């Protein structure tokens, strides 16, 4: 029972990342009809915003180490710690959550520039053309990050308060044998908040209602005198923000590297297809479902019976779903037709 609960938590954690990326992919496809293979690069860029913020916050200077009395010794101390003392140390410790404030405007601008500068020229092109150009853009971004930050992963620590594990078993009244990393629980809660915020934005705001109407019938909305194209561009920017925040908050779990976006993109695109192209609820549901299935498939007991099943389980499920229901779990009929 303990192992089952842990695997479910692992699946929900990983599924949260899949769902956030898939949510952005689906928003872009549902509004602009673009299959954006550069979306994983936005996930990666968000992670490297966290890296950059921490590097700025930890700019240091050499200070004489008074604890060494036999000879002169110096140690590196961040300027923030020198200037602000305990407050400076706390700011550095909380660099990942603080990065959210920096990442939101940066990712919004990156998304808008990407959409206005490149993506808009491919609205009426075939999906194959869209995939090729956005995949090429993802490779370019990936190589730029590699040139700037190097090829090695860059660890990003979670705030000290969230290091270590939490006793989930005691919380659920199941004993003391179920412990789980605190930051992974934070990420799961963060993913749930972002997903809820996106759905609330689309469901309860005037802007969101117009966007949903445009997704259903773009021409009618335009005939009403509403500039739906401008609103869809903003949605692209918001999707970039969602992907960026997903990557940023994932950095204490997986150290940022230049190819992390591509690793998550392929799996997240499969999630979108399984959930149904254009279906936001389908993307979220499929993300968590496939995350849980992948988690259980990674158990040693399962891999001993079916070696390598953890590497193919998502694709196997996708194949079965598409054979039984070609438009995905919650997809609309004919949504991929040009």
Residue 69 has pLDDT above 70, yes or no: no
CA distance 37 to 283: 16
Q: What is the structure's pLDDT at 196? A: 94
Greater model confidence, 3 or 50: 50
- Residue 46: pLDDT band with limits 50, 70, 90: very high
Asked whether the beta carbons of 165 and 182 are under 8 A apart, the reply is: yes
Q: Write down the mean pLDDT value for the chain.
A: 86
CA distance 274 to 299: 23
**Going by C-beta distance under 8 Å and a sequence separation of 6 or more, which residues neighbour residue 264?**
17, 18, 21, 40, 43
Query: Residue range 150-176: average pLDDT?
Result: 83
What are the helix (H) ranges across the chain? 2-32, 39-57, 79-84, 86-93, 95-117, 127-149, 168-172, 182-204, 206-216, 218-223, 228-249, 260-275, 280-297, 300-305, 309-324
pLDDT by residue (tens digit) across 1-28?
667 888 888 888 888 888 998 888 888 8
- Residue 238: pLDDT band with limits 50, 70, 90: very high
Q: What is the structure's pLDDT at 269? A: 83
**Going by C-beta distance under 8 Å and a sequence separation of 6 or more, which residues neighbour residue 55?**
none
Q: What is the structure's pLDDT at 337? A: 45
pLDDT by residue (tens digit) across 254-283?
999 998 888 888 888 888 888 887 788 888
- Which whole-number Å values give the CA distances from 154 to 24, 145, 258, 288, in the listed order? 25, 12, 10, 27
CA distance 80 to 66: 19
pLDDT by residue (tens digit) across 114-145?
988 888 888 778 888 888 899 899 999 999 99
Q: What is the structure's pLDDT at 27? A: 85
B/e letters for 245-275, b = 16+ CB within 10 Å, e = fewer, are bbbbbbbbbbebbbebbbebbebbbbbbbbb
Asked whether the beta carbons of 247 and 42 are under 8 A apart, the reply is: yes
The rounded percent of the chain whose pLDDT value lies above 70 is: 92
Q: How many CB atoms lie within 10 A of CB 66?
A: 8
């Amino acid at each position: 029972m303990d192992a089952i609960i842990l695997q479910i938590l692992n699946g929900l954690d990983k599924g949260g990342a899949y769902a956030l990326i898939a949510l952005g992919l689906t928003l872009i496809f549902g509004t602009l009809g673009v299959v954006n293979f550069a979306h994983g690069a936005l996930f990666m860029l968000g992670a490297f915003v966290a890296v950059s913020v921490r590097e700025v916050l930890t700019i240091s200077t050499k200070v004489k180490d008074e604890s060494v009395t036999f000879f002169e010794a110096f140690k590196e101390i961040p300027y923030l710690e020198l200037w602000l003392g305990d407050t400076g140390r706390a700011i550095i410790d909380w660099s990942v959550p603080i990065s959210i404030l920096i990442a939101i405007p940066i990712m919004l601008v990156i998304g808008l520039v990407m959409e206005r500068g490149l993506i808009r020229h491919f609205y009426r092109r075939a999906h194959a053309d869209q995939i090729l150009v956005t995949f090429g853009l993802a490779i370019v971004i990936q190589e730029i990050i590699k040139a700037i930050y190097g090829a090695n992963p860059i660890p990003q620590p979670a705030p000290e308060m969230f290091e270590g594990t939490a006793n989930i078993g005691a919380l659920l009244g199941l004993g003391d044998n179920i412990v789980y990393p605190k930051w992974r629980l934070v990420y799961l809660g963060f993913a749930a908040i972002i997903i809820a915020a996106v759905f609330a934005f689309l469901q309860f705001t005037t802007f969101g209602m117009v966007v949903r109407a445009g997704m259903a019938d773009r021409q009618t909305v335009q005939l009403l005198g509403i500039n739906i194209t401008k609103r869809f561009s903003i949605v692209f920017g918001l999707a970039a923000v969602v992907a960026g925040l997903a990557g940023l908050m994932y950095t204490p779990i997986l150290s940022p590297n230049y190819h992390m976006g591509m690793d998550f993109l392929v799996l997240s695109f499969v999630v979108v297809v399984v959930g149904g192209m254009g279906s936001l609820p389908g993307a979220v549901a499929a993300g968590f479902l496939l995350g849980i299935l992948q988690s259980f498939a990674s158990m040693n007991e399962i891999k001993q019976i079916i070696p390598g099943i953890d590497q193919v389980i998502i694709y196997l499920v996708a194949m079965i779903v598409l054979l039984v229901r070609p438009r995905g779990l919650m997809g609309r009929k004919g949504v991929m037709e040009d």
